[in-house]
Every structure is written in structure tokens, then in C-alpha cells.
Amino acid sequence: MYKYGLTGMPLGHSMSKIIHEEILKIKNIDGKYSLLETDNLDKSFWEVLTNLDGFNVTIPYKKDIIKYLDVCSDEVKLYNVCNTVKILDNVKTGYNTDVYGFNDTLLKNSVNLKGKKVLVLGNGGVSTLIVLEAVLQGADVYISGRNKEKIYELIDFVFLKTGVKPKYIKKEDIDYFDVMINGTSLGMYPNVFESFIPLEKLKNISVVFDVIYNPYKTLMLRVAEYYGNKGISGLNMLVAQAVKAQEIFNNITLSKDEFLKVLNKAKENIPPFKVDKNIILIGAPASGKTSISREIAKILNMQFIDIDQLIAEKEGMTINEIFENKKEAYFREKEREVFLESIKNKGRVISTGGGLAEYFNLNSINKEENIIVYIDVNKDILFNRIKGDTTRPLLKDDKNKLFEIIKRRHPVYKECCSLSQKVEKEENIKDTTVKIIDKIILRI
């Protein structure tokens, strides 16, 4: 039996064992693939690795492993990054199959970097490879990340290899890019709400490629696609580099159908994008709570709940009819009941009526499980929105009544909310939605 493995730290959520063992199964190779997590790549652990027929290397050892090798492939020499080691007759040869996975993914998604303005996030092993490869392919490359000193070291390294200097850019200066590639682990399961850049910046980036594969569609990709831009998951890159590694280990090739089978096997083992809290939107009538709630639910893969709609369905009449026939006190009691029932399950975006916060103490609910968002819209915008709207029982196109309600409720909204989003002028609902999500992820 052949023995293979993956070393790195952490490996708790790695898909490599599933992928490699599926390849071995498809090609009828008697082999086993193990996860060999370590926080210290020292001589004693190296001896464990050399008992294998080959192994893969991930964060944080893709550079550190090189000093232990007997032979380095041309790719390892170029990128100074190794992710695959084959052991034959006690000779340890290092390869880089990440570059194959990267280029295979670009090709399958019809992305050509030549002449494009490209932003790379990060300065680790994967980012090093991506920056160098993008420069070699003729891209105008910018780099951003948390460690400015390391980024300048990467810039010097790329200049030494190519004679071309990528540019450093602060995250606040990021504007339009043809392609952005995230080479960091920010946004990877279980920390799926981490993001280096404000999500609203993705509006002006035509293609977003996230090397993360778990979740299959990261928050970054979800927002990019919400804006109508192209999002590319890192799963194909992961599978393609694994296939290339097994080709090196066993001198095999996979057909397109076999590759797809491995990809689907990996995909079905990735848990869905999930939010284990509720997001509750409050605010004045016509502040956009229902529309924005629906948009947030779409992006975050959550269930959308409209409290007024649920009440109307339960009562078999419109909200106006309930106010006319059963009066406001009856409605408020039903509103309280339906709301409390709705927050029992998590993973929901809940749009509330404008009066809920005034007639029910929202501070009484668990704020660890429920994030309350106040949509704070300019009162003149609100009036322009309700003009001619006869479906709002407490307003009836009455400007003074609206302003009186806002004056009374605004302090209540502010006091009970987890966060607020001010809207001083009419703007695209997508922009408002993503600004709110940028704030929400700081509290999840």
C-alpha cells in the first residue's frame, strides 16, 4: 500500500484526504492519505514524513519545507514555494502544483490576466505564487495586506525574479480592478465572516477569485456575484493541484469526467454557508426594511421572514383591515406573538413593522443570538416614499403624522439596536445592503 499525506497547521477542516483518496479509488491504486498536523516542522517530524511515498504541504510550511529537499523542480526554484514532495529511493523532490491549479482555474473561467489591472491580497506562499504568475502573464499587479513590511519583501522578490515591480496599495485606496485574487485565509471556515477589505469595494471589481474553497462560495464571492460580477471559488484550484500531485506520485492522468467526479465529491463534503444568528431590521415606515431584509437573506443564505406578512396570513386579512376591524391593540399583541415565535429558530433575517420597537421591549431578547439593525432614513426621503401609499394604517399620506412618529420612535430605535445604518439620500438598494453587511460581520 502506498502512503501519502498532508502536513501543515491547522488541518481540522482540510478536504485533502477526501480528494486524494477519491483519486486513488478512481484509478484503482492501493493507497492511504493521512492528515499530519504539526506546529513544528523540525527534524523529528521530517522523519515521520520521509516514511511516506509522497506528501503535500500547506500553510504555514510551503517555504520552510524547501530546506529539507534534495531536489527542487523549476517551479519551486522560481516561486520559492513547495506544496508537493515525492520520495523515491530516499530522494526527496519538491514540486509546486498550486501553479497548475491556479492556471487551470483561470482557463476554465476564461480569465486572461494579460494587460489586466490585478489586485492580490496577502503575502504568504500562495500569494507569492499568484503575484509572480500574474506578473509573468503580463498583468499590472497591485498587492494589499496586513503586513506592509512582508509585502515589500514580496515586491523585491518578484522584481529580482522578473525585473518588474508590483505596487503596494492600502486597502482604503482600493478602487477599480479587473481581477482581484484573495490569497489569504480570511473568510475560511469556520471564520467565514472575516474580510480584509470592505465588501462594498467589490462593486468595482469585475472578477473576484478566492483561493478559499470552504465555504465553496465565500462571503467575498457572494457579494461579488450579488453586484453582478464574476466570482470564482478556490475548489477547482484545490482539486487540480491535488490531481497534478497524484500524477507526479503515480504517473497517472485523469480524464475530464474523472476530474469532475473528484470535484463533485469534494463539493458535496463542504458544509453550506451558514449564519447561526438572527438579523432583525427595525426602522420607520418606508425605511426599506422588507426589501433590504430580503437582499441580506439572499447574500448570507438565510431565511427571510416578514412579520407583517405572517400576521396578515394568520389573520386572513391585510394589516389595514386588522387595524380597522380589530384595532391596534389586537394587532400589537399578534405582532409580539409572531415576532417571539420567529426568533426561536436561528439563521433568519426578520423584517419588522415600524412600531414593534415602540410597543415591545427589544432589549429583552438575547442580543448574542439576535443582531438588531436600525435603518435610519432621512425623514424627507421617508415622506417621498409614502406619498400616495394607502396601505399604511397609521399614516394615510400625512406628513405631520409621519414626522411625529419618527420623533417619538427614533430614540427607541437607537437605544435597542445593535448597529444602525444612516441613509441621507436615495441610493441603490444593493449599496445600502452591502454597507449593512459590512457592519453586521463585525458583530457575528
Where in the sequence of the chain do the CATH 3.40.50.300 domains occur? 278-440
**Closest residue by Cα to residue 393 from 317, 444, 341:** 317
User: In sequence order, what are the residues at sequence separation of 6 or more whose Cβ sits closer than 8 angstroms to the Cβ of residue 97?
Assistant: 83, 84, 240, 241, 242, 244, 245, 248
- 62 has catalytic annotation: yes
Residue 86 reports pLDDT greater than 90: yes
Quickly state the pLDDT bin for 97 (edges 50, 70, 90).
very high
Question: Rounded to whole angstroms, how far apart are CA atoms 16 and 399?
Answer: 62
What percent of the chain lies above the pLDDT cut of 70? 98
Residue among 142, 126, 148 at smallest CA distance from 179: 142
Q: Domain 2-96+240-268 carries which CATH code?
A: 3.40.50.10860
Average pLDDT of the chain is: 94
What is the dihedral sign for C-alpha 168, 171, 177, 183? Answer: positive
Mean pLDDT for the stretch of residues 385-412: 75
Q: What is the mean pLDDT of residues 346-372?
A: 96
Confidence of residue 95 (pLDDT cuts 50, 70, 90): very high
Contact 29, 53 (CB under 8 A): no
- Examine the pLDDT at 389 and tell me if it is beyond 80: no
Answer yes or no: are the C-beta atoms of 50 and 92 closer than 8 Å: yes
Higher pLDDT, 162 or 397: 162
Q: What is the pLDDT of residues 131-186, one digit of tens each?
A: 999 999 999 999 999 999 999 999 999 999 999 999 999 999 999 999 999 999 99
In three-state form (DSSP H/G/I as H, E/B as E, the rest C), the secondary structure along 293-354 is HHHHHHHHCCEEEEHHHHHHHHHCCCHHHHHHHCHHHHHHHHHHHHHHHHCCCCCEEEECCC
Reported confidence tier of residue 388, pLDDT bands at 50, 70, 90: low
Residues 254, 257, 260, 261: is their CA dihedral positive or negative? negative
On the question of pLDDT at 396 being above 70, the answer is no
CATH ID of 278-440, from 1.10.10.10, 3.40.50.300, 2.40.420.20, 3.20.20.210:
3.40.50.300
- Count CA atoms closer than 13 A to 258's CA, side-chain side: 14
Phi, psi values for residue 167, rounded to 5°: -110, 145
In this prediction, residue 282 carries a pLDDT of 98
**Residue 234: all three cell numbers together:** 478556490
Which residue intervals of the chain bear CATH 3.40.50.720? 100-233
Burial 232-244 (b: 16+ CB within 10 A, else e): bbbbbbbbbbbbb
Phi/psi at 424 (5° precision): -100, -15
Instruction: Count other Cβ atoms within 10 Å, centred on residue 206.
Output: 17
Q: Per-residue pLDDT tens for 405-425?
A: 889 999 999 999 999 999 999
Q: Grid coordinates in use for 96? A: 509546486
Residue 354 has pLDDT above 80, yes or no: yes
Identified catalytic residue from 25, 27, 43, 62: 62
pTM above 0.85, yes or no: yes
The correct answer on CATH 3.40.50.2300 for the domain covering 100-233 is: no
Nearest Cα neighbor of 132 from 183, 79, 81 is 79
> Cβ neighbours of residue 438 under 8 Å, at least 6 residues apart?
198, 199, 200
The percent of residues in the chain predicted with pLDDT above 90, rounded, is: 86
Query: 364-384 in b/e burial notation, b at 16+ Cβ within 10 A?
Result: ebeeeebbbbbbbbeeebbbe
pLDDT at 130: 97
pLDDT digits (tens, 9 = 90+) for 212-251: 999 999 999 999 999 999 999 999 999 999 999 999 999 9
d(CA 317, CA 37) in angstroms, rounded, equals 60
Res 193: pLDDT:
95
Q: ∠372-376-378 over CA atoms, to 5°?
A: 170
Tens of pLDDT, residue by residue over 15-51, are: 999 999 999 999 999 999 999 999 888 877 888 888 9
Q: Are 93 and 71 in contact (CB under 8 A)?
A: yes
- Cell 513544528 -> residue: 40
Are 59 and 30 within 8 A, CB to CB? no
pLDDT tens track for 312-321: 999 999 999 9
Return the amino acid letter for 421: Q
Q: 340 versus 124: which is more confidently predicted?
A: 340
Q: Where in the chain do CATH 3.40.50.10860 domains reside?
A: 2-96+240-268
